[in-house]
Structure 1
Amino acid sequence: MRKKGRSELLLLLLSMAVLGLKARIQLTIYFPAEKLTWDEARQYCQDNHIDMVTWDKIDPELLTKWLEEKGLDDVWIGLHEDPEQQSAWKWINVKTGEGLTGEAVSESDNWANGQNHRGSCGSYDSSNKKWYRRDCSETLHFVCYDDNLTLVTENKSWEEALNHCRNLSTESDKCDLLSLTRSSDISYVRDRIYGATSEEVWTGLRFLGGEWWWSDGETLDPQEMPAGCPSRWEHCGSLSKLNTAKWITRD
C-alpha cells in the first residue's frame, strides 16, 4: 500500500472509464507541502502515489488552474534531459518507473525563451505556462499523480478474481473487476498492469447469454467484441501487458 500520511493538496482530474457499480477510474494530482530536489521529488511520488505528472497523463490547463489557485508557480514535473543525448528532453517512464520513455519533447513546445541556466531537470511555471531547465539539486514544490486502480498480484480464476474485487468494497467505495467501455483507455491500463507477475490480467469481460458483457452490467460495443464466437470454455476476457490485442479470451 502507498503511504499517504504527509500533508498534501489533491485534485480530482479526470474520469476515464467505468470501473464497476458506478465507480470510475479517477486520476488525481497531489501537491505535497515540502520542497525537494528533482530526484527526491520523483522518489516521493513513486513511494506515495504513482509518479510525477507528465503531459500525456494529465490536463495541463486544469493543472495550471489549480497551481494558480494554490499559489504555486514553479514546480518540478516529470521532464528530464536525456543523459545519453545532450539537449534532448524526454518524459519520465511512468510505465516501468525507471528512466525515460524515449518520447522526445520538442524544443518548440512549451520552453521559456532566454533561459540563463542549463540544468538537466524540468520545471513548470504556471504564471506563463512555460517549462524551465533547472539544476536538479534545486529544491522546488512538485506534482504527483495517482488513480484508484488496484492491481492484485495474486493468481485467481475469473470468478475468484470477481469476488476478490467486490469484497474490497466499502460503504463509500464500490470495487469490481475493471470494465473498460472506451477503447482509448486500454493503453493507460496496459501501462498500469506492467508490474503484474503474469503476462495477462483478468478484466470484467464475460460471455453470457450469447453476448459479451462487462461485470458492471454494461454490454460490450459490437465493434470492440473479440473476434468470432468463443470456444466452449473461453468465456472470460483478459488484457495482456505485452500483446497488443484488445482482449484475449480465456477459460
Structure 2
Amino acid sequence: MVNSRSELTLSLLLFSALCLEAFIIELEVYSPAQRMNWSEARLYCQRNHVDLAAGNIVDILGMNGFLLNVSPVWMGLRRSPLNDSAWRWIDPKGGEGVSGGVFSQSVLWAGVEQSDHCALVDADLKWHSVRCSSTHPFFCTEGNEIKHHDNKKDWYAASDSCSDKSDSYLATITMDNTGKLKSAGWIGLHRKAGETWSWIRDQQSDFRNWAQGEPRYADCGSFDPVNQKFHSKACSTELPFLCYDDNLVVVNENKTWEDALKHCRKMESPCEDEPSPCIYKHDLLSLEVPAEYNYVRDRIYKATTDEVWTSLRFLGGEWRWSNGQQLEDQTMLPDCPSQWKHCGTLSKHDTNHWITRNCLERRNFICYRYKTIINQTDYLGV
C-alpha cells in the first residue's frame, strides 16, 4: 500500500456492527497527490489499493466534508461501451470493464451532462457534439437534395421525421453538399456505443467540419465536491482521483483450514499516522453481518480456487466463528454435518452463504485486518 502521508485519507465504515464483537468491513478512501487520466488512475488504484472509488462508497462520500478542498476527481464511473446512453460503475470483481450498477438516471448528474454524442451544425456553420436529447431544427437528405426543417426535435425524433418520407434520412454531409448548410440543425452524424462517429444508415462520408475543441469524447465520470454533482469528461483529461481500500486480504495460497487460520494470525504490520502506538493483526474472516456477503463475494473473485476458507467451524455441536461468536442462524448449516465436513467456505459463484467442506482440503482463504493498541509500557520497552 502507498504510504498514507502522500495521500489524503478518510476511514469509513461501510456496514454497521450488530455488536461490539461483530466484524465490520472498513473502507479507506485515498486521494493521491498525482493527476492522471482515467485509465491511468484506475491502474494506479488497482496496483496500490483495491480500485477507483465507486458505487456505495460514493454514497458515503456525499455525506461528509472529506472533499471540500479537493478539485473535481475521477470516480469509477464510465459510459457503457454496449449502450451509449448508459453510465455504469466499474466492476471490481474482474478489474476490467463497467459491469457494475447503472447510474444513468441518478439525480446527481450536473444538469445535462450525460450524453453529447450527436452532431449539430450551429450558427457558426461548424459542427458541434451536443446532447442527443436536446431539441433543434434539422436537415434531411431527400433524394439528391438537403432540406432544412425549422420545427425543433431531438436527434432521434428528427431522424424518424426524415425517415417518414421514402428515400429520406437525416442528412449526410459531404464536401460537395456542405455549402447547402446555411443555418443551424441536426445532421446524421452520431457516435455509437461510445466508440467512433458514424453516419446514420452507414452512409459514407469522410468529410468533417468540427468546431475547435470538437468533438468531445466525454466517456468518463468525475465528481465535483463543490456542487456534489457528477460530470462527464474526456477520459484523457488529467484529474485528481479517489481510490479505496479495505481491511480484507485474499491469500492465493492453498492451505488446510488450520494452516489458513495460522497464516492469518501470523500476519502483522505496523500502524502508520496513528495517535497511539498500535499494530495491525489479522484473523481468518468472520462474517457476522449478513449485508457483507455480497461485498466479500466480489472481493474473492480473483482467488484461484472457486471457494475460500472463512473462519466458520463446527465445534461442540455448534457452528462458530474463530473469534468465538456463534453463527447467528444455525439452521443455515446442518446440525450434524457429515464426517470431516466441519469447516465453512464462501463461494465466488454459489449464492448460498456457506458451504461445508472437509477441513483438510486445501484452498485459498480470506483474512481480515484489525487494529490492536500496544500497551504503552511494552511500547517503551519498560
Q: Provide TM-score, normalisation by structure 1.
A: 0.89
Matched, 1:143 2:142: no
Q: 1:128 to 1:3 in 2, by over 3 A?
A: closer
Paired with 2:12 and 2:352, the residues of 1 have a C-alpha distance of 28
Paired with 1:173 and 1:23, the residues of 2 have a C-alpha distance of 15
CA offsets 1:65-90 (integer angstroms, 9 cap, x no match): 2001xx11311101001123212111
Match of residue 85 from structure 2: 87
State how 1:1-251 maps to structure 2 within 5 Å.
Answer: 2-4=1-3, 7-14=6-13, 16=15, 24-61=24-61, 64-68=64-68, 71-115=69-113, 119-169=218-268, 172-222=279-329, 225-251=332-358
Larger Rg: 2
Paired with 1:15 and 1:83, the residues of 2 have a C-alpha distance of 30
1:243 to partner: Cα distance: 0.8
1:25 to partner: Cα distance: 3.1
1:157 to partner: Cα distance: 0.7
Paired with 1:15 and 1:105, the residues of 2 have a C-alpha distance of 20
1:139 to partner: Cα distance: 1.1
Amino acid at match of 1:42: R
Q: 1:41 to 1:206 in 2, by over 3 A?
A: same
Contact 2:287–2:293 (CA under 8 A) maintained in structure 1:
yes
Report the identity percentage.
48
Aligned residues: 247
The runs of 5 or more residues in structure 1 that have no matched partner are: none
Q: 1:114 to 1:85 in 2, by over 3 A?
A: closer
Amino acid at match of 2:350: N
Q: 1:144 to 1:128 in 2, by over 3 A?
A: same
Paired with 1:203 and 1:223, the residues of 2 have a C-alpha distance of 16
Compute the RMSD of aligned alpha carbons.
2.4
Paired with 1:131 and 1:139, the residues of 2 have a C-alpha distance of 16
CA offsets 1:160-191 (integer angstroms, 9 cap, x no match): 11111111135612211000001110111110
1:228 to partner: Cα distance: 4.3
1:59 to partner: Cα distance: 3.6
Contact 2:345–2:354 (CA under 8 A) maintained in structure 1:
yes
Contact 1:13–1:58 (CA under 8 A) maintained in structure 2:
no
Amino acid at match of 1:44: Y
CA offsets 1:124-171 (integer angstroms, 9 cap, x no match): 111111110111111111100001111111111111111111111356
Paired with 2:63 and 2:240, the residues of 1 have a C-alpha distance of 14
Contact 1:77–1:124 (CA under 8 A) maintained in structure 2:
yes
1:35 to partner: Cα distance: 1.1
Q: 1:249 to 1:15 in 2, by over 3 A?
A: same
Amino acid at match of 2:221: G
Q: Provide TM-score, normalisation by structure 2.
A: 0.60
